[in-house]
Each structure stands twice: as C-alpha cells, then as structure tokens.
Amino acid sequence: MSLKIRDLPNEELVAPGNSGCPGCGATMGARMAMKVLGSRTIMVNGTGCMTVNYGVLAAARFPYLHMLFETTGAVLSGLDAGLRSLGKREGVTLLGWAGDGGTADIGFQSLSGAVERGHKFVYICYDNESYMNTGGQRSGVTPYGASTTTCPAGKRSIGESRPMQRRKDMVEIMAAHGIPYAATASLAFPMDYMAKVKRAAEVDGPSYVHLLSPCPPGWGSNDELTVEVSRLAVETGMWILYEVVDGERKFNKRLKTLRPITDYLKTQKRFRHLLDQPEEIEKIQSFVTKRAERLGLLG
Amino acid sequence: MPHPWLKERPLTPCLRGGFSTVNQTGSWRVIRPVLDISKCRDCSMCWLYCPEGVIDRENNYSIDYDYCKGCGVCAVECPVDAIEMVKEE
C-alpha cells in the first residue's frame, strides 16, 4: 500500500502567516506530517523553531501544546496515560515534534523514558544540526567541520571538531531501546517521508522519525534550495534513508555511486571554510564512503 | 503607543487556532512566484512543498500573495519549470 499525492487531503491544517523563515524545512515537514496524520492529532512541541512558527501566533488549527525543552517525552506520556484513563485514546494521534537540541541533548532523558515505558506516540525530530532558534549554537548532532556561533571557524578552528564517528546517531539510539519503529527521512523524498509518518502512527507503541530539515539562515543555504540540499545530502551519502522495524534494518534509497561530498558542502556557508582545505574534505569523504560500504548502502 | 498586536491579541496563554492569519507575511517577499498555467502538468509538487500552504491545487494552483513569503522552493522543485520567480516592484 503506497501513498499517492492525489489521495492527500486538500484541507490545510496549518494557517498561513506563521512566523517561520522563508524556505523553512521544519514548517514544510510539519505541514506534510499533518497531511498524513489528520486533524485528530495533538502536537506536543518541545521548545525550538516550531514554537516560533506555530506557537507564537497560533498557526496550528489542531490541538497544539508548546512545552519546555526537556519535557516533550514526559508530556506525551502524560497525555497518553490521561487519555487512556478517560477512555478517549481511540482515534487520537499523539505527535511529539522537537528539534535536534530538544531531542538529542536536552529532551533526551524524557524521550528515553517515554520510549522505555512503551507509551503510544509518534515522535518526529526535525534535525537542523544546531540550536537554530537561538542563533545556531552547536548541538550533539552538529556534523564535523560545521561553523556555528559557539564553534566558529577561524585561523585555529575548523568549526565543530568532534569527529563524525561520535555524532549522536539518534535512530540507532532509539533502535537500541527496542522501539517498534524508527526511521530517518528527507524532505527531498516526501512520499517516503509521509509513508514513514503514516506507518509510525499505525504502530502500537512508540515510534521515532528523524527528519533532516535544512535551515536556510543557519546553514547559509539559499531559501529556494531547501529541498535541493536535502536531496544532495542523500545522494552524497551524508544522510542515509533507512528504517528499523522491530530491529530489522531496511534501506529505502540505495545508491549506485556516491556523489562527491563537495557537492553538498558547497551549497552551505557553514562549510565554506572547508572548501580550500582538501585534507578536511578527505576526512569527511572517507568517513561517508566507509560508512556506506560498511552498511551495504551501495549497489 | 501600544503595539498593534496588543489590541487584537488577548493576554491569555492560549489563542484561537489560525490566529496567525493576522500576520500578512506576503510583505516579506522580494521575489514573487508567477505560474505559467499552460506549462503546468498538474503534478502537485509545488502544492506539496510550499511550506506555507498558500498554493491552492483545487483552484488552478492559484497562489495567495498575501501570505507567500517568496522562498522560491516551488520554482526550483517544479519539474517542468512552469513557475518563475519575478522581482517585486
């Protein structure tokens, strides 16, 4: 059963006029997710850009809760338990929506606890690879070499210095919890992303979707290239599309060959300083190539 | 002088859903998308990708310029290049 673009509802659950930046990947991703989940969804939003987008001026035409950074998982657990005891859980989807900082760093313990207790919810992390709402500070998932406001590139710094191997891999961490469904997604493959959200909502238990969400002001990419940057991330092997269903890993997009990593890096100002440092590019390229070979992504 | 929002916006922790329509984000735009409907193949990609949801696919893909922020994603993602970004006058 595949999802078709014709079958998506025309009804807009998100009002125009939200305060998001032009070309925001998170607004785009949330709108697509709501097309699949429908109006009987409660969105629990950990602090982040989406608070500005949906919370400040109430763009959401469905129940929306803005929560503290660290409580997204706890509020989802409480809503799940509360609706169950009131006998109103049937037909309601609980959607947790938080950024990478609110998921991998600050909100990590409450998410981990909610998944471990086995509450039923869909959690989507929109990953813009820094704390973009507060001006772009580094987070636990910032890639190697990216210039952020707390690790700016300069004469003695190449930006984020943590090696690629130690970047927090949230989907693998969630898979290690024994979660029934976890997946990565990209805006450049919208039907794949929406099918994953739909599947995540159908699972009995917690489910996790990690969406790469380009941030034009924070990454220094052009507004109109949001989707193109997502596509390049997949084609260069920086971002791997796969899903973990009950511990089984399945790739959704296999590649014949990887495009050179510079195709991705040169679209963004945060990597601009790397372009005249071939040895740094080689480090990233060799990590990406080795990972693709090790996982069996190619072919 | 009080901020214009203070008149309309109640001082409560909750707002009516869809309140954001008071914020006409079309004024942010520097380039505007113009659709050539004769080239359009009705694939809905612009409708799906528009972050604001201002493209109406039931109504010949008309664009609501009151709210379009002019990001240009629709023009890049259109497979037949039917949307052109034109500078605002």
Positive or negative: CA dihedral B23, B27, B33, B35: positive
Report CB contact under 8 Å: B18, A59.
Answer: yes
N- to C-terminal Cα separation, chain A: 25
Quote ipTM for the complex: 0.90
Strands B31-35 and B83-87, sheet pairing: antiparallel
Nearest beta carbon to residue A16 from set B15, B28, B64: B64
Residue numbers in A near B66 (CB within 8 A):
16
Q: How many CB atoms lie within 10 A of CB A263?
A: 14
Quote the minimal CA–CA distance from B46 to chain A in Å.
Answer: 11
Q: Tell me which residues of chain A have a C-beta less than 8 Å from any C-beta of chain B.
A: 5-6, 8, 10, 12, 14-20, 22-25, 27-28, 31-32, 57-62, 64, 187, 190, 216, 222-228
Average pLDDT over residues A144-156: 93
- A6: nearest CA partner in chain B: B44
Q: Which two tokens stand for residue B81?
A: 């290049």
Q: Is residue B75 part of a domain?
A: yes
pLDDT classification of A1: cutoffs 50, 70, 90: low
Residue A63's pLDDT band, with cuts at 50, 70 and 90, is very high
Give the pLDDT score at B6. Answer: 64
Length of chain B in terms of residues written: 89
Using pLDDT thresholds of 50, 70 and 90, give the confidence band for residue A153. very high
pLDDT of residue A8 exceeding 90, the answer is: yes
Q: Which helix (H) or strand (E) holds A226?
A: helix A226-235
Look at residue A91 in the predicted model and tell me its pLDDT: 92
For residue A171, which amino acid is it? V
**Whether B20 and A17 lie within 8 Å, measured CB to CB:** yes
Whether B32 is in a domain gets the answer yes
**Torsion angle of alpha carbons A18, A147, B77, A125, nearest 10°?**
-60
CATH number at residue B45: 3.30.70.20
Q: How far apart are CA B78 and CA B47, in angstroms?
A: 10
State the angle between helix axes of A108-117 and A72-86 in degrees (0 to 180), rounded to the nearest 10: 30
pLDDT in the model for residue B17: 83
Helix ranges restricted to H, A137-225: 170-176, 190-202, 216-219
Would you list which residues of chain B are within 8 Å, Cβ to Cβ, of chain A?
14-25, 28-29, 43-45, 48-54, 57-58, 64, 66-67, 69-73, 75-77, 85
Instruction: Look at A51-60, A123-132, B28-37 and tell me which has the smallest mean pLDDT.
Output: A51-60
Identify the CATH number of the domain defined by range A9-142+164-254: 3.40.50.970
Q: For residue B53, what are the domain limits?
A: 26-87
Q: Tell me the per-residue pLDDT of A163-181, one tens digit each, with 9 for 90 and over.
A: 999 999 999 999 999 999 9
SS (H, E, C) A90-151: CCCEEEEEEEHHHHHHCCHHHHHHHHHHCCCEEEEEEECCCEHHHCCECCCCCCCCCCCCCC
Residues facing A207 on adjacent strands: A122, A181
Chain A residues within an 8 Å CB radius of B33: none
Q: E strand or H helix at B55, and its extent? A: strand B55-56
Taking alpha carbons only, the member of A35, A288, A36, A34 closest to residue A45 is: A34
Q: How many residues make up chain A in this entry? A: 299
Q: What confidence score (pLDDT) does residue A273 get?
A: 94
> Quick one: closest CA in A to B57, which residue?
A10
Tell me how many domains chain B contains.
1
Question: Taking the alpha carbons of A182, A186, A192, A195 in that order, is the dihedral positive or negative?
Answer: positive
Rounded CA-CA distance A112/A163 in Å is: 24
Cα–Cα dist B75/A123, whole Å:
31
Helix H segments across B1-89? 4-8, 45-49, 73-77
A287 Cβ contact partners less than 8 Å away, ≥ 6 residues apart: A144, A163, A164, A165
Is B3 a member of any domain? no
Q: Is the pLDDT of residue A35 over 70?
A: yes
Beta-carbon separation of A22 and B70 below 8 A: yes
In chain A, which residues have their Cβ closer than 8 Å to the Cβ of B19?
Answer: 15, 57-59
Is residue A82 within 8 Å of A134, Cβ to Cβ? no
